[in-house]
Chains A and B, each alone.
Chain A
Amino acid sequence: KNEVEQSPQNLTAQEGEFITINCSYSVGISALHWLQQHPGGGIVSLFMLSSGKKKHGRLIATINIQEKHSSLHITASHPRDSAVYICALISSGSARQLTFGSGTQLTVLP
């Protein structure tokens, strides 16, 4: 079993829809990142979470440490949100490397 599981793998939505991407993990963590990778390959860090909830514009990220689960929400989705969203975690006691989920390919149709 992978340490990090993302769902769904692919998601197609209509513009304006509320989107949720989920990330579950099986190890203790010190923090979790949500990353966005655009078709050209560039990666942007959206959030770094160790507890609770963070909001930036139309993006909201939540994490439940007890349940080992995090979600990324996009409100009022737009075609420019189309990208691969990746959760990546830092295991407790190891700040040395990120463990990546397999990513969620999001396509938002106009």
Chain B
Amino acid sequence: GAGVSQSPSNKVTEKGKDVELRCDPISGHTALYWYRQRLGQGLEFLIYFQGNSAPDKSGLPSDRFSAERTGESVSTLTIQRTQQEDSAVYLCASSLVTAGNTIYFGEGSWLTVV
């Protein structure tokens, strides 16, 4: 597609449920990033994928968070047993090779855990 596409754009879920967030990067972009932004706070790095290399998972806040990416295409971020503190906007971004290239952000998935 023309830009980074994320779905769902909004998700309200009950505490304890699992959620999956999807990111479709720009075609040809080998680097894909997930970030989180809680209300009123800055951006937090979650995970980085680069081609077929092992992902950098150093930003995942707990083992309830996981992400997968199939090749150089779609990525899913899964949050298991959601907690209220998981409420945030989850932003996906992609770039051509590395973060030394222009980065393109999706519109984000707004997650509310009630």
Contact = CB atoms under 8 A, between A and B. Distances in A.
Contact of B99 (A43, A97, A102): A97
Interface of B: 31, 33, 37, 42-43, 45, 48, 50, 56, 58-59, 89, 91, 93, 97-105, 107-108, 110
Given A97-B33, A97-B45, A31 B103 contact: no
Interface in A88-102: 88, 90, 95-102
17 contacts: A33-B99, A41-B110, A42-B108, A43-B93, A44-B105, A45-B102, A45-B104, A48-B102, A50-B100, A90-B100, A95-B97, A95-B99, A96-B98, A97-B45, A97-B48, A97-B58, A97-B99
A29 to B, nearest CB: 10
Contacts of A43: 91, 93, 105, 108
Given A41-B89, A43-B105, A98 B42 contact: no
A29 B26 CA distance: 25
Contacts, number: 65
A31 B102 CA distance: 10
